[in-house]
């Protein structure tokens, strides 16, 4: 395992996460709350990006395998991402344009940057198998997830003084002033990746032909049933990730509706959870290499459901609630770290780009079923009060995780490198 290359590679994941968390926390609020834009505009842009990724992710996965070097296209995508990141940061602080045109520009830049950020991950993740031998894939994947969560935590702390008003830049503070510092931090931490990461020559074709991408991507999708272990993994990953991301999405509302927590406690819980997800990803990667990726993945999935279900039984946050969140975060972080290692091991580390294209495809799909199920459960059981309906909604999503766990069990050990 080349630790220097791994560290430089992980800096890119760290850098992306700084912007990701600030956009997640503050962009929708700046648009809707501060500027009065109807929610449908923000939601529609996000949905169109998702639909575009559903179409293009398999194509980019196939194209990634055709490239002899992936850094040039990663640099191209990152430059576009950085420019639009900075553009949003400048426009939200002070725009020379009329209000309506400014909002259109911000939404347009959000669309471009969000798409290219998500798309770049196909090429970025495809570099992971080049960082070490098969026996280290768990640790490599776990470290990547560690860096991702570290970036999320750093991003929160970076802009928190601006949110509270303790620090001012360009004569102001608040949500509008968080995006530019996050964008500049992205540039600072992503730059070493492009300067110092030495890409090893790909054994595949040195040419990057564009012809026949759609046909080849379609062939990969059609061929999945002939590769049952990869097929079962991706289906299981869809169900589990869909449910886990929905659980994360609704946790702030759960804290409000069920536990009546203040915003400061919610923020503390979020940072607490992210920190231990980071630790869990690193530890799970080591465990996967030592005890087997499938075995560890099954345990992580089961234990995450187990501890989150225990947490739903609390009616107020006690010291035991913190303990349960600690445990759930460790296992959830481990799950997201080990899932990439499973994909790479199933792909045998060869032509892994096309499978990361499918991984990205299934990850994009993982934002439909569980949120709808969650919302329907809330509506059906609303008569029983917020606390009961939210608990039942969480238990409904657990069904999806159990389904995913069943599919993971179908993965054959002989197919895992």
Does the residue 327 lie in any domain?
A: yes
Residues in CB range of 177: below 8 A, 6 or more apart = 92, 93, 162, 168, 169, 170
Q: Whole-prediction pTM value? A: 0.84
Say whether both 186 and 42 belong to one domain: yes
With beta carbons less than 8 A apart as the criterion, state whether 53 and 358 touch: no
Does the residue 211 lie in any domain?
A: no
Residue 205 has pLDDT above 50, yes or no: no
Confidence of residue 306 (pLDDT cuts 50, 70, 90): very high
Overall number of domains in the chain = 2
Say whether both 229 and 190 belong to one domain: no
- Coil, strand or helix: which one is 126? coil
For the CA atoms of 175, 178, 180, 185, what is the dihedral angle to 10 degrees? -160
Confidence of residue 194 (pLDDT cuts 50, 70, 90): very high
Say whether both 228 and 125 belong to one domain: no
Between 58-72, 184-198, 391-405, the lowest mean confidence (pLDDT) is in 58-72
Does the residue 229 lie in any domain?
A: yes
Query: Residue 227 region, left (φ>0) first, then alpha (ψ -120 to 50), else beta?
Result: beta
Does the residue 213 lie in any domain?
A: no
What pLDDT, in 10s, does the model give residues 264-291? 787 788 889 989 999 999 999 999 999 9
What is the DSSP annotation of 159-207? HHHHHHTSS-BTTB-SGGGSHHHHHHHHHHHHHHHHHH--PPPPSS-S-
Residue 417 has pLDDT above 70, yes or no: no
Does the residue 379 lie in any domain?
A: yes
Instruction: Please give the Cα distance from 129 to 122 (Å, whole number).
Output: 13
Query: Residue 260 region, left (φ>0) first, then alpha (ψ -120 to 50), else beta?
Result: left
Does the residue 79 lie in any domain?
A: yes
Say whether both 162 and 302 belong to one domain: no
Say whether both 328 and 228 belong to one domain: yes
Task: List the domain range (segments joined by +) for residue 296.
Answer: 223-412
Residue 17 half-sphere exposure toward CB, CA atoms < 13 A: 21
Does the residue 358 lie in any domain?
A: yes
Say whether both 191 and 228 belong to one domain: no
Which one has a higher pLDDT value, 44 or 160?
A: 160
Residue 349 has pLDDT above 70, yes or no: no
Say whether both 231 and 280 belong to one domain: yes
DSSP classification of residue 69: -
Instruction: Please give the Cα distance from 148 to 139 (Å, whole number).
Output: 14
What is the DSSP annotation of 321-342? HHHHHHHHHHHHHHHHHHHHHH
Instruction: Please give the Cα distance from 356 to 232 (Å, whole number).
Output: 15
Residue 315 CB coordination number (10 Å):
12
- Supply the CATH number for residue 24's domain: 1.20.1250.20
Say whether both 243 and 373 belong to one domain: yes
Say whether both 259 and 395 belong to one domain: yes
Say whether both 313 and 181 belong to one domain: no
Instruction: Please give the Cα distance from 315 to 56 (Å, whole number).
Output: 44
Mean pLDDT of 385-404: 87
Q: How far is CA 328 from CA 9, 305, 374, 396, in A?
A: 28, 8, 20, 18
Say whether both 49 and 94 belong to one domain: yes
Instruction: Please give the Cα distance from 50 to 55 (Å, whole number).
Output: 9
What pLDDT, in 10s, does the model give residues 14-29? 999 999 888 877 887 7
What pLDDT, in 10s, does the model give residues 209-226? 666 777 887 887 788 878
Q: How confident is the model at residue 107, as a pLDDT? A: 93
Say whether both 146 and 284 belong to one domain: no
Residue 90 has pLDDT above 70, yes or no: yes
């Amino acid at each position: 395992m080349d630790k220097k290359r791994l560290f430089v590679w992980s800096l890119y994941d760290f850098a992306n996460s700084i912007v990701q968390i600030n956009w997640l926390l503050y962009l929708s609020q700046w648009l809707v709350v501060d500027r009065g834009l109807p929610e449908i505009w923000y939601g529609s842009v996000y949905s169109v990006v998702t639909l575009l990724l559903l179409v293009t992710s398999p194509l980019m996965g196939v194209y990634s395998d055709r490239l002899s070097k992936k850094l040039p296209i990663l640099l191209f995508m990152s430059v576009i991402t950085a420019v639009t990141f900075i553009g949003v940061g400048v426009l939200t602080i002070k725009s020379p344009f009329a209000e309506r045109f400014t909002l259109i520009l911000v939404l347009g830049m959000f669309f471009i940057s969000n798409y290219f950020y998500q798309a770049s991950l196909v090429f970025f993740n495809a570099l992971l198998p080049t960082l070490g031998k098969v026996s280290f894939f768990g640790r490599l994947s776990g470290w990547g997830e560690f860096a991702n969560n570290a970036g999320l935590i750093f991003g929160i702390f970076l802009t928190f003084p601006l949110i509270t008003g303790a620090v001012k830049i360009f004569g102001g503070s608040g949500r509008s002033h968080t995006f530019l510092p996050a964008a500049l931090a992205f540039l600072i931490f992503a730059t070493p990746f492009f300067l110092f990461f030495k890409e090893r020559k790909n054994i595949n074709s040195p040419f990057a032909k564009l012809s026949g991408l759609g046909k080849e991507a379609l062939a990969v999708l059609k061929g999945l049933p002939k590769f049952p272990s990869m097929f079962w993994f991706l289906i299981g990953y869809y169900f589990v990730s869909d449910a886990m991301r929905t659980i994360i999405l609704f946790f702030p509302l759960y804290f409000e509706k069920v536990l009546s927590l203040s915003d400061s406690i919610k923020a503390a819980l979020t940072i607490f959870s992210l920190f231990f997800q980071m630790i869990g990803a690193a530890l799970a990667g080591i465990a996967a290499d030592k005890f087997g990726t499938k075995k560890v993945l099954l345990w992580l999935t089961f234990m995450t459901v187990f501890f989150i279900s225990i947490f739903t039984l609390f009616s107020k946050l006690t010291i035991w609630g913190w303990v349960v969140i600690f445990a759930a975060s460790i296992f959830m972080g481990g799950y997201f770290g080990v899932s990439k290692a499973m994909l790479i091991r199933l792909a045998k580390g060869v032509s892994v780009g096309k499978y990361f294209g499918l991984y990205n495809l299934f990850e994009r799909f993982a934002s439909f079923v569980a949120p709808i199920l969650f919302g329907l459960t809330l509506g059906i059981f609303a008569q029983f009060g917020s606390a009961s309906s939210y608990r039942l909604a969480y238990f409904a999503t657990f069904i999806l995780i159990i389904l995913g766990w069943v599919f993971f069990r179908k993965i054959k050990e002989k197919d895992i490198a």
